[in-house]
Structure 1
Amino acid sequence: MAGMVAGSKRARGGSGRVKLEEVARKANVSTATVSRAFNEPDKVSEEVRQRVKDAARALNWIPNAAGRALASSRTHIAGAIIPTLDDEIFAHQISGMQTVFSERGFTLFLGCSNYDPDEGLRQAEAMLARGVEALAVVGENHPPALFDALNARGIPYVVTYSYNKLSPHPCIGFDNRAAFSRITEHLLSLRHRRFAAIFQPDTNNDRVKERLRGISEALAAAGLEIAARDLMMGPSTLEFGATSFARLMTQPVDVRPTAIVCGNDNLALGALMAARESGLDAPGDFSITGFDDLAISSRLSPGLTTMKVDNQEIGVLAANELLAVIAGRQERAQSREVVPDLKIRDSAGEARVR
């Protein structure tokens, strides 16, 4: 037994580490095939790829990323920077990206900017230093230096969760302005004329700015506007939704808003909780809408009227566009629009003018 161990170590250069050749022998393939199975998996059949992975796992062999990068000028690393880890919508996007990149042998690095553009830039620079081959960032509100660095290095990138036909950047997402115009128009069709809005901060957030613009434009077309006192902006929490609703309802019943547009489901659900505590109900006393269609939004009573966005599809589309550039099939990532789906439920009904 000791001789076998010693012999095995000599075959591995005295280090005790498994070599590429041993994986190839165990999988009954060439060393080039082992390399392709990890570096270019689409060029190897699924059966062979699985055999190689099983052999590598049995031998406890892990590809040396640094060595692969030196040998091929490739790192097989992609990056994504999101604004927060506290929101499930971004988790769904990352899940979609992870699935696609993993199938193609890429590792996905994740960074969080906490809605700070400078922190987002630092995250991007750190990823570039580690050799990311592609990058996805949320929204367009980033320092020019970030996009300059990507373009100077020829690194393909996409902007996610936003879609703007006039953008200089490839966008994978939806038109935030159009989505909230549509929500507002739905409430207008229900004869609402007194509107309020409960929103997350628009600082360093181009998506929120576009959402508020969509509401404003739809109301202006109907000769209406949201009074300054009826625009609540603060943390994207249940608590802020609840306290904002309570403040709105302190106004006399004949002047207080009958329709409340919320920047996301979290804020709307907080408002609905506050309404229940104060003895008010939707759509009897007011109407309210959200955005995102969280899993709980259709299960509460009343069901929340909201917009559903397939965030996982955004991640899948983003990864596929970036991989197409990496593979040389196209020079630049192409913009792709994901159209949100308006979910009409019981929280919004006909206005009852008092």
Structure 2
Amino acid sequence: MAATIHDVAKHAGVSIGTVSRAINNYKDISPETKERVFKSIKELGYTPNVIARGLSSKTTSNIGVIVSGLLDSNRFDNLWYMLLQGIYRYTSENDLEVAIYPTNSKEQTRKSYTKFCKERNIAGAIISGITITDVYFKELVNAEIPCVVIDVPMVGKKVGCVSVDNIKASAEITDYLISNNHTKLCVIAGKKTAAVTLDRMKGINQSVMSNGLQIDDEDILYCDFSQEIAYKNVREYIEKHDKSRATAFVCMSDIMAMGAIDAIKDCGYSVPGDFSVTGFDDIPVSQLISPALTTIRQDLIQIGYESAALLKKIIDDPSEAKHVYAQYQLMIRSSVRSL
């Protein structure tokens, strides 16, 4: 039978409370007593319960990763995995505990962000996938529990953000299309309520307007970051307009770009022979599809790492809350041709 905290207390000749205080590094435990407790722990092979340890400690090293919309992700989309890899890399280097908590817009109405974190003894949270209409988004401005949001440009008393400069990156890839004489563009946008959609649309509009062009509402197709919806909408768009309206599709994600390319091919056209297509993210499969996708590379592993690092800073000192911009890179491949 596994040793218990009661066994450790009896073996060390101290109270259960003293064992708990020694494990949680309380300052009022003498070095001699602490040494005796840890010697008993080693000899008995006792393993402290991490959750119980956190609950009994004055401070907690538990970080939560709250992911909204996890079940909506595409099978080719490994963005969540890369983000979590970066978060875990930081937490493992800094002796922090991390747990993942999936949620969605409906579940957020049942329990506040602060209550959610307090019930799980979370010192702070990294939040990904929320939209500007989500309950948590509205709560975060005055949140008691420190947090860092991914791709939502907001900074509050205990709220920070990590992202690439979505406006600048989207403007750059649109400039690239225009420099290749694509003056008639169709935008494959994400969710209307996603902050990242709004920022990327700002960047596209900045580029278009600075080049004396415009994009009509009919040329903006909202596809919820879904490959299937992008396929459906692009196919309907081409069947309606043929090649008379747009020469290039500016997609706000690689996943939607894949749907657009499939739709173009199924309509009897080619990429980039008849239409050019760009993406955003540079997921691994974007280099493997035909043609290889011109896109914006964002390092999600680094974004995850920076998110965890920023959260730790905010937990220690709320004045550290800020927007951290990660680097991005325009990846020019073969899905765009010059007219």
TM range (shorter): 0.7 to 0.9
Cα distance in 2, alignment partners of residues 209 and 121 from structure 1: 27
2:321 alignment partner in structure 1: 333
Structure 2 residue corresponding to 1:100, chosen from 61, 81, 90: 90
Cα distance in 1, alignment partners of residues 44 and 92 from structure 2: 20
What is the Cα deviation at residue 161 of structure 1? 2.5
2:16 alignment partner in structure 1: none
Q: TM-score, normalised by structure 2?
A: 0.78
1:161 alignment partner in structure 2: 151
1:46 alignment partner in structure 2: none
Note if contact 1:196-1:259 (Cα within 8 Å) is conserved in structure 2.
yes
Cα distance in 1, alignment partners of residues 5 and 238 from structure 2: 72
Note if contact 2:5-2:46 (Cα within 8 Å) is conserved in structure 1.
no
The answer to whether the aligner puts 1:185 opposite 2:175 as a matched pair is yes
Of the structure 1 ranges 294-303 and 87-96, higher mean CA displacement relative to structure 2 is found in 87-96
Structure 1 residue corresponding to 2:333, chosen from 320, 332, 345: 345
5 Å-filtered alignment, 1:207-286, equals 207-253=196-242, 255-286=244-275
Note if contact 1:305-1:347 (Cα within 8 Å) is conserved in structure 2.
yes
Cα distance in 1, alignment partners of residues 184 and 110 from structure 2: 39
1:47 alignment partner in structure 2: none
Structure 1 residue ranges without an equivalent (≥5):
24-29, 40-51
2:32 alignment partner in structure 1: none
What is the Cα deviation at residue 73 of structure 1? 0.8
Cα distance in 2, alignment partners of residues 56 and 333 from structure 1: 40
Structure 2 residue ranges without an equivalent (≥5):
13-18, 27-37
Render the CA deviation track for 1:316-338: whole Å, top value 9, x for unaligned. 1111122234456x742343211
Of the structure 1 ranges 91-100 and 299-308, higher mean CA displacement relative to structure 2 is found in 91-100
2:15 alignment partner in structure 1: none
Aligned CA distance change for structure 1 residues 120 and 176 (closer, same or farther; 3 Å):
farther
Secondary structure of the equivalent of 2:188?
strand
Which of the pair has the greater relative contact order for Cα pairs under 8 Å at 6+ separation?
2
Cα distance in 1, alignment partners of residues 44 and 333 from structure 2: 53
Q: How many residues align?
A: 309
1:307 alignment partner in structure 2: 296
Render the CA deviation track for 1:91-115: whole Å, top value 9, x for unaligned. 3222211232234332223333435
Cα distance in 2, alignment partners of residues 277 and 324 from structure 1: 50
Aligned CA distance change for structure 1 residues 305 and 191 (closer, same or farther; 3 Å):
same
Cα distance in 1, alignment partners of residues 321 and 283 from structure 2: 29
Render the CA deviation track for 1:277-331: whole Å, top value 9, x for unaligned. 2331111101110111111110111100111111111111111122234456x74
RMSD: 3.3
What is the Cα deviation at residue 170 of structure 1? 2.5
Note if contact 2:161-2:324 (Cα within 8 Å) is conserved in structure 1.
yes
| Percent identical residues | 24
Q: Give the letter aligned to residue 340 of structure 1.
A: Y
Secondary structure of the equivalent of 1:280?
coil
Q: Give the letter aligned to residue 160 of structure 1.
A: I
